[in-house]
Amino acid sequence: MAVYTAEHLRGIRVVVTGGGTGGHTYPALTTIRALRARLAAAGTEPDVLWVGVADGLEASVARQEGIPFAAITTGKLRRSPNLHEWGRNVADAFRVPLGIFQAIMIVVRSRPEVVLSTGGYVCVPIGIVAWLTRRPLVMHEQILTLGLANRILARLADRVLLSHESSIDHLPTRAKARAVVTGNPIRPEILIGDRDRALATYRLDPRLPLVYVTGGAQGAVQVNNLIADILPGLLPRCQVLHQCGGFSLARMRQVADAVPEHLRGRYRVVDYVHDELPDVLSAADIVVARSGAGTVAELTALGKACVLIPLIPTGGDEQRRTARHLADAGASRVLAGPDASANRLYEEITMLLDHPERRQELANAARRHGRPHAADAVAGAIIDAAGRARS
């Protein structure tokens, strides 16, 4: 990428569009933060406008971060609709022209020098208008295959940024020459966790291996049930910190109360791990988790030995694809379908506890798949696109 002077970078105007889920929203947010940091080092700052839907996660995140936000109306195309969803598809089809009209007005008024799309159906109107008005479009895909919105925009984008090398095979032929593998942006604080602080916060024993169990922000009933079944056999060997989600907290506290008193201090259950997550991941010897794109990006960037239990089904069965991709590379263990049983999970965890060298092999392979500087790479692609637009 070219090197641009501070004058070249001054006041870069960027429209960011992406949202609907955390998988699209948080990479956009992390990229905006990285872009601000890059330009602050050059003595300037970007002029950023985030475009999404008014009631989407992106709207609340932008508001919390103080990022200017514009809402548009748009429709969602459901790929395998039932009779009810066919009706919703038809209704949403009428929203698409309105969304494109709103996108035209936003682009005309804000005059962006570059547009970043991180996925979700809200991206399509802005991406189409960027192409129509010859504004550079930088598209980022978080998952192995391409979401429907990004399959459309990949044909129009000036630069297609991917999280995985193998994703190139899923691109339209003409888009492959414009593809760059950057990785999936993760928060930089994930990389600088403090193990001792996590042990102190949760009153954990530094002499015992720590298994961190998480089902994502909302928890996962399947994962919680598996852990409840194997706790009696697991706790004599290790300690467990379990983020179970608010829905299951009362039940898992009952499980905790039933643990024999001499082992009770080895099991800590919480509904949600907040700002302590970097510290917890730093302390964890083994992580049991879903295989969402953001989770996998963090675990591989850190090089963590993990047992992945993909959520099935998801769009395109993406979590299972991701987990299998890592398992085939020796970078994780995976339990999916009939294999996702309490006995198998117990076997996997105890095998890793009993064989530290196997844990280290998994961790090393995971780290080889990690891209801890992805956010800076995506920010660099935005700066490069804007710089070329100004030249």
What is the model's pLDDT at position 249? 94
Domain that holds residue 326: 189-369
Same domain, 264 and 284: yes
121 with 196, same domain: the answer is no
Q: How confident is the model at residue 48 (pLDDT cuts 50, 70, 90)?
A: very high
Q: Determine the Cα angle at 230 with ends 224 and 236, to 5°.
A: 125
What mean pLDDT value characterizes the chain? 91
Segment 340-365 mean pLDDT: 97
pLDDT, position 390: 80
Q: Which residues contact 319 (CB under 8 A, 6 or more apart)?
A: 290, 291, 292, 310, 311, 312
Residue 98 confidence (pLDDT):
85
Contact 45, 52 (CB under 8 A): no
Residues 315 and 377 occupy one common structural domain? no
Pairwise CA distance, residues 46 & 385, whole Å: 13
Task: Flag whether pLDDT at 86 surpasses 60.
Answer: no
High-pLDDT (> 70) share of the chain, %: 92
Instruction: Mark whether 252 and 144 lie in a shared domain.
Output: no
- Averaged pLDDT for residues 297-319: 89
Classify residue 93 as exposed, middle or buried by CB count within 10 Å of its CB (0-12, 13-18, 19+): exposed
Answer whether 96's CB lies under 8 Å from 107's CB: no
Would the pTM of this model clear 0.85, i.e. be above it? Answer: yes
Residues 107 and 225 in one domain: no
Distance CA(389)–CA(88), nearest Å, equals: 39
Give a yes or no: residue 259 inside a domain.
yes
Let me know if residue 248 belongs to a domain. yes
- Whether residue 149 is found in the same domain as residue 267: no
- Together in a domain, 215 and 329: yes
Residue 3 above 70 pLDDT? no
Cis peptide before 185 (omega within 30 of 0): no
Give the pLDDT confidence score for residue 193 in this predicted structure. Answer: 98
| Residue 207 maps to a domain | yes
Report the side by side order of strands in the sheet with 210-214: 267-270, 239-243, 210-214, 286-289, 306-308, 333-334
pLDDT of residue 374: 97
Q: pLDDT, tens digit, for every residue of 250-273? A: 999 999 999 999 999 999 999 999
DSSP 8-class letter at 52: E
pLDDT at residue 82 greater than cutoff 60: no
Cα separation, 186 vs 372, in Å, equals: 7
For residue 109, the model assigns a pLDDT of 95
What gap in Å lies between CA 268 and CA 240, rounded to an integer?
A: 6
Same domain, 245 and 353: yes
CA gap 18, 12 in Å, rounded: 19
Is the confidence at residue 219, as pLDDT, over 80?
no
**Using an 8 Å Cβ cutoff, are 94 and 47 in contact?**
no
Which residue matches tokens 């095979």? Answer: 169
Alpha-carbon distance 70 to 78, whole Å? 24
Each residue's pLDDT tens digit, 157-189: 999 999 999 999 999 999 999 999 999 999 999
Whether residue 279 sits in one domain with residue 215: yes
> Order of strands across the sheet with 137-141?
69-71, 47-52, 13-17, 114-117, 137-141, 159-162, 179-181
> Does residue 159 sit within a domain?
yes
Same domain for 201 and 108: no
Using 50, 70 and 90 to split pLDDT, how confident is the model at 37?
very high
Tell me, what CATH number does 309's domain have? Answer: 3.40.50.2000
CA distance 288 to 307: 5
pLDDT value at residue 224:
96
pLDDT at 156: 96
Predicted local confidence at residue 92, as pLDDT: 59
pLDDT > 90? residue 296: yes
Which of 18-22, 98-102, 252-256 has the largest mean confidence?
252-256
The residue written with tokens 């001499």 in the block is: 262
Q: Calculate mean pLDDT across residues 88-102.
A: 70
State how far the Cα of 112 lies from the Cα of 131, in Å rounded to an integer.
12
**Percentage above 90 pLDDT, the chain:** 80
**Total number of domains in the chain:** 2
Residue 1, domain member (yes or no): no
Cα distance between residue 80 and residue 66, in whole Å: 37
Whether the predicted pLDDT of 47 surpasses 90: yes
Same-domain check for residues 201 and 165: no
If asked whether residues 249 and 377 sit together in one domain, one would say: no
Average confidence (pLDDT) over 97-110: 92
Assess whether pLDDT exceeds 90 at residue 302. yes
In a domain, 293, yes or no: yes
Average pLDDT over residues 362-388: 96
Q: Is 206 among the domain residues? A: yes
Tell me what pLDDT residue 216 has: 80
Residue 296 lies in a domain: yes
